């Protein structure tokens, strides 16, 4: 059975715009324009405000139908694939879908459980990157850090367990399915928390 | 947390995202190879991925 999923639009992502503005800042610096980090942050905020206001205006006038898809992703049944799609839903398509192993695997015809877990773990690593930077930041909230500590421990353990299961028996056993389901829930909790705190 | 700190944090996270992009592209390329060759990841491919996962998790744990 197939089901369609949706994910947050890339143009609503602070991370994506942050990357774009940072790259533009590097380009314009060649001509002597200095876009400081603070100014870059303001530019990103202005862009997101404009996107938000534009979206609200369009919705009010009923000229567009609300849609959260970057692009429709067809997902077949199966807990392993759900793990990847959960990450895409979490806005982890950093660098755009073309730079995304999860997106590639979600588009694939018939990926194996091992291929899916590999893609899922590579997506998970992106979330870990963002969390690590937050934790090491002077601005980090210690309560948030404590939660990230707990959630990342659980997510890493479960995704490594899922990997072990699919590597040992190809993901065909009930044990492997249970391991992948556990990884799905743990990683989803980690990503949801990062998203709720604006870290992703 | 002040506005300036939030902006700085946003920039730091954006930079981290930028740093993660080459790894993401490498992973995507690896997945494309696996699909094209109709095979599962090799032990070496898993080890590269696991090293990143474990290293980043340790950073979050502060170790």
Nearest chain B residue to A108 by CA distance is B35
Inter-chain touch A38–B1, beta carbons under 8 Å: no
Residue B31 with chain A: CB contacts under 8 Å: 101, 104-105, 115, 118-119, 122
Residue A73 C-alpha, separation from nearest chain B C-alpha, in angstroms: 16
Of how many residues is chain A composed? 200
pLDDT tens digits in sequence order for chain A, 200 residues long: 343 444 556 777 777 777 777 777 777 777 776 777 667 777 777 777 666 655 544 443 333 333 444 443 333 335 555 655 555 544 444 445 555 777 777 777 788 888 989 988 988 998 898 899 889 888 889 999 999 999 999 999 999 999 999 998 877 788 888 888 888 889 889 988 998 988 87
C-alpha span between B30 and B26 (Å, rounded):
6
CB contact, 8 Å: B46 with chain A? yes
Inter-chain touch A160–B27, beta carbons under 8 Å: no
Inter-chain touch B50–A160, beta carbons under 8 Å: yes
Chain-centroid distance, C-alpha A100 = 10
Nearest chain A residue to B54 by CA distance is A156
Q: H/E element holding B4?
A: helix B3-37
Q: How many CB atoms lie within 10 A of CB A144?
A: 17
Q: Cα dihedral sign for A181, A187, A193, A195?
A: negative
CB proximity under 8 Å: A 62-91 to B:
none
pTM beyond 0.90: no
């Amino acid at each position: 059975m197939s089901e369609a999923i949706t994910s947050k639009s890339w143009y609503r992502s602070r991370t994506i715009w942050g990357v774009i503005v940072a790259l533009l800042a590097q380009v314009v610096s060649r001509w002597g324009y200095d876009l400081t980090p603070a100014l870059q942050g303001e530019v990103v905020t202005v862009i997101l405000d404009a996107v938000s206001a534009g979206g609200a205006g369009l919705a009010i006038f009923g000229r567009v139908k609300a849609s959260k898809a970057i692009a429709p992703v067809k997902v077949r049944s199966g807990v392993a694939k759900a793990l990847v799609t959960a990450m895409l839903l979490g806005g982890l398509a950093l660098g755009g879908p073309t730079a995304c192993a999860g997106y590639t695997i979600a588009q694939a015809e018939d990926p194996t459980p091992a291929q899916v877990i590999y893609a899922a773990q590579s997506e998970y690593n992106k979330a870990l990157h963002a969390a690590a930077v937050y934790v090491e930041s002077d601005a980090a909230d210690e309560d948030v850090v404590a939660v990230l500590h707990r959630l990342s421990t659980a997510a890493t353990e479960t995704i490594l367990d899922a990997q072990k299961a699919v590597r040992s028996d190809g993901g065909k056993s009930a044990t492997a399915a249970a391991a992948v389901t556990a990884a799905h829930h743990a990683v989803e909790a980690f990503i949801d928390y990062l998203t709720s705190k604006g870290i992703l | 947390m002040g506005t300036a700190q939030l902006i700085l944090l946003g920039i730091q996270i954006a930079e981290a995202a930028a740093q993660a992009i080459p790894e993401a592209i490498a992973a995507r390329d690896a997945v494309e190879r696996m699909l094209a060759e109709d095979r599962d990841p090799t032990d070496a491919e898993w080890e590269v991925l696991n090293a990143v996962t474990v290293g980043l998790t340790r950073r979050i744990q502060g170790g």
